[in-house]
Structure 1
Amino acid sequence: MTTTTEAPLSANDDRVVPGSLAHSDGAGAFVPVQTRSERPHSFVPADFPVPNGREVNWRYTPVARLAPLFEDVAGPEGVMQVDVTAPEGVEQARLAKGAAPRGEVFRPEDLPSAIAWEQETEAPLLRIPANLELDEPVFVNLTGTGGLAHAHVVLEAGANSRATVVFRHTGTAQHSQNVEIIVRDGAKLTVISVQEWEDDALHLSSHQARVDKDALLRHIVVSFGGGVVRVNPSIELAGPGSHAELYGLSYSDAGQHLESQVYLHHKGTHTKGDVLYKGALQGVGARSVWIGDVLIGPDAVGTDSYEANRNLVLTDGARADSVPNLEIETGDILGAGHASATGRFDDEQLFYLQARGISEEEARRLVVIGFLAEIVQKIGVRELEQELAEAIERELAEGVAV
């Protein structure tokens, strides 16, 4: 087991550990961990309490709806049907615990991810060999047939390789998923995770990645379907000159909860990060949550980092929570910033379009499509971009606002 959890403090112990502060009178007082880099990790599910919704990383999540994913039990066989379509040269294997590169990067930070690690006895590996450049994406289609399912998947992009990997989730399941991503020196990897579940699906996914010297990771999360969907990417820019582009798109309907907690850790020198998530919401009870944490470490000189979240609320009864956080531990950087905005339609945009003879209904449709198209166009897979554009049109057609 690997864990950063400290032993309890005794009354005579004057250590200061992550999550604790000392009062001026000398007495120690526990304070819940707030700093993203201080969160404990462990491969053992028993080291994590069952979330109650008061924890900093669960306070926006409807934990009562996720109860099945907090039980350390194996699901029945065959719940997730997996179909992998890969170009020639892509290597596939199964990794037991302790078999490299499984565990080289991934460290569970909550109960569901630790359970998924423990329950996945043989993790599937997708490896793009060094110097291989793929002209076509790797598609991993996962179809839920109902029931509990755990998974740990390892993606490895060899040095100077080029590839795109697309995960597509459909059907229904109670799915806890880990995705471990390793981007070796000089590689360029795009990972796209698309959630098009049925309305009753539950999906908790923890993506953890390390990006090495002069490598690039483009990570894109697209969530349309599911009852509760939480996809959390955690990216470490470890090598000098490493680069990450993190994009997200969500469209939440009545009763849906779509969430992403993003962590970008600038660790190496001269790293660059760009984070942009956009969401649209319509219907009573529609909910989206975005939490963006950026840490610029003490050795990350020359860092250039920016994160932003934009939400468009289309109807009454919908709610978007947006929490950007930025920690800087060195003053020698090129730049760092964050932004967040949540609002309704821009009246000036609507007026401009209507003044040119466009109906109000069509004007609203054009504004929404234009707002979300920025993310769709970053995907880089033409057929998938077309499908997502059509999915947005369907969402708008079913909505009550337009």
Structure 2
Amino acid sequence: MLNSNEFSGAAVSEGAGYQTKGDLPTSFDVEAFEVPVGRDEEWRFVSLRKLRGLHNGSFAEDLKVVPQNIDVKHPAGVTVETVDGENERLRAAGAPSDRVAAQAWTSMPEATLITIEPDTRSDEPIHVTIAGAGEGNVSFGATTFDVGHRAEVTLVVKYEGSGTHADNLGFIIGDGAHVTVVVDADWNNDTVHLSNQAMLMGRDAVLRHNSAIFGGEVVRMFPRVRYTAPGGDAELLGVYFADAGQYFENRMLVDHSVPNCRSNVLYKGALQGDKKNEARTCWVGDVLIRSSAPGTDTYETNNNLILTDGARADAIPNLEIETGEIAGAGHAATVGRFDDLELFYLMSRGIPADEARRLIIRGFFNEVIHRIPIESLSEELERRVVDELEKINA
């Protein structure tokens, strides 16, 4: 099964030829996309020259293509297979929606299909670790999770190491399944990574998708949620912390095309740069409520803290509504420094200014971090926030 809007034939320009973000052209073939340029809406924030040729194919001149280095640890009731890009079940979550994701699909030597049997219930997470291929190499891959109906599982995808990497993650969530996903980009700071993530929701399926970006030179994640039947419930949560010289982009799409589904998006980020090396982040949240989706209930929020000079955050929520018969819809986004009144209050209680700042920033992130059901990972993300804060006065 392929996306209904998959196209073929002559290459088309990204950002053109469709009426809504939900109609974004998709294909498994890189040649179906024109090479992006800086004025294209989907690419206008990221510096294309920093993508090491992933966007235009010039990576082949300097980098050796290798399979993604993937390790999967899993409980009973889970099957792991190595397949090629033509595998229909691997493709079922949907086709790539931009040229880099299609490049990854076209160029990958092999892919991974992880099947969770129906009615599987496990307290032990499925751990997937993807390591960078190192300097001089570029790795491409695809990993699809096919979750059977009424299964209840936690999926942890961790990226680590160094290199240049582009991949596609697919999540097929069966009817009545409850799935928690954690995508942890814990790269070394010399890594470039672009990830396309397609999520297909069954009837009454529940998805809790958590994203964390703390490492990497350029990291761009694009999760997309589609519903196939009523009752789907998707929550997308994210945290990110950018230092000098880092660029993180979270660009998402929630496509409500069937009745009585829910979505909630909450991302929080902080930035600290300097005059020589700017820290930059971009968050683009697209939610589409089609005329065929009465009863939709959705809200999206993005909050950003600017901690130093030399930092810039772009926050762009987009809400397209084609029917007025909905339960609720809204969005909010903020970019700014933390509240001086909170700082004054803590200092008036005898807390030194530096410690007060740390407490405020940790509290800012905890609303998202504490929703991660894996205690060890939640504590690890808290530790990373503390480590980042130590750099401010270093």
Q: 1:249 aligns with which of 239, 261, 273?
A: 239
How far apart, in 2, do the equivalents of 1:246 and 1:260 lie? 11
3-state SS of 1:68 partner? coil
Kindly indicate whether the alpha-carbon contact (under 8 Å) linking 2:208 and 2:235 is maintained by their aligned counterparts in 1.
Answer: yes
Kindly indicate whether the alpha-carbon contact (under 8 Å) linking 1:237 and 1:243 is maintained by their aligned counterparts in 2.
Answer: no
- Map of 1:77-156 to 2, 5 A cutoff? 80-146=68-134, 147-156=137-146
The one-letter code sitting in structure 2 at the alignment partner of 1:193 is: V
Kindly indicate whether the alpha-carbon contact (under 8 Å) linking 1:68 and 1:174 is maintained by their aligned counterparts in 2.
Answer: no
Normalising by structure 1, we get a TM-score of 0.90
Query: 1:5 deviation in Å?
Result: 6.7
The C-alpha deviation readout for 1:301-326, integer Å capped at 9, x for no partner, is 11100001000110011000000000
How far apart, in 1, do the equivalents of 2:324 and 2:300 lie? 18
Is residue 352 of structure 1 aligned with residue 341 of structure 2? no
The C-alpha deviation readout for 1:161-186, integer Å capped at 9, x for no partner, is 01111111111111001001100100
Q: 2:52 aligns with which of 46, 59, 67?
A: 67
Kindly indicate whether the alpha-carbon contact (under 8 Å) linking 2:66 and 2:109 is maintained by their aligned counterparts in 1.
Answer: no
Is residue 158 of structure 1 aligned with residue 148 of structure 2? yes
Query: 1:7 deviation in Å?
Result: 7.1
1:4 paired residue number: 7
Higher deviation after alignment, 97-106 or 123-132: 97-106
The one-letter code sitting in structure 1 at the alignment partner of 2:300 is: E
Is residue 191 of structure 1 aligned with residue 176 of structure 2? no
3-state SS of 1:385 partner? helix
The one-letter code sitting in structure 2 at the alignment partner of 1:272 is: R
- Map of 1:4-43 to 2, 5 A cutoff? 4=7, 35-43=20-28
Kindly indicate whether the alpha-carbon contact (under 8 Å) linking 2:241 and 2:270 is maintained by their aligned counterparts in 1.
Answer: yes
Kindly indicate whether the alpha-carbon contact (under 8 Å) linking 1:79 and 1:173 is maintained by their aligned counterparts in 2.
Answer: no
> Any unmatched runs of 5+ in structure 2?
none
How far apart, in 2, do the equivalents of 1:155 and 1:83 lie? 14
How far apart, in 1, do the equivalents of 2:11 and 2:56 lie? 25
Higher deviation after alignment, 178-187 or 74-83: 74-83
Kindly indicate whether the alpha-carbon contact (under 8 Å) linking 2:9 and 2:32 is maintained by their aligned counterparts in 1.
Answer: no
How far apart, in 1, do the equivalents of 2:146 and 2:229 lie? 16
2:42 paired residue number: 57
Query: 1:8 deviation in Å?
Result: 10
Larger Rg: 1
Q: 1:309 aligns with which of 299, 302, 322?
A: 302
The C-alpha deviation readout for 1:283-335, integer Å capped at 9, x for no partner, is 12111100000001111111100001000110011000000000111111100
The C-alpha deviation readout for 1:72-131, integer Å capped at 9, x for no partner, is 477647674322111122111123233231211221111111111112243201111100
> Any unmatched runs of 5+ in structure 1?
10-17, 20-30
Aligned residue-pair number: 382
Kindly indicate whether the alpha-carbon contact (under 8 Å) linking 2:65 and 2:138 is maintained by their aligned counterparts in 1.
Answer: no
Q: 1:173 aligns with which of 130, 141, 163?
A: 163
3-state SS of 1:204 partner? strand
Query: 1:237 deviation in Å?
Result: 2.2
How far apart, in 2, do the equivalents of 1:77 and 1:66 lie? 15
Kindly indicate whether the alpha-carbon contact (under 8 Å) linking 1:192 and 1:221 is maintained by their aligned counterparts in 2.
Answer: yes
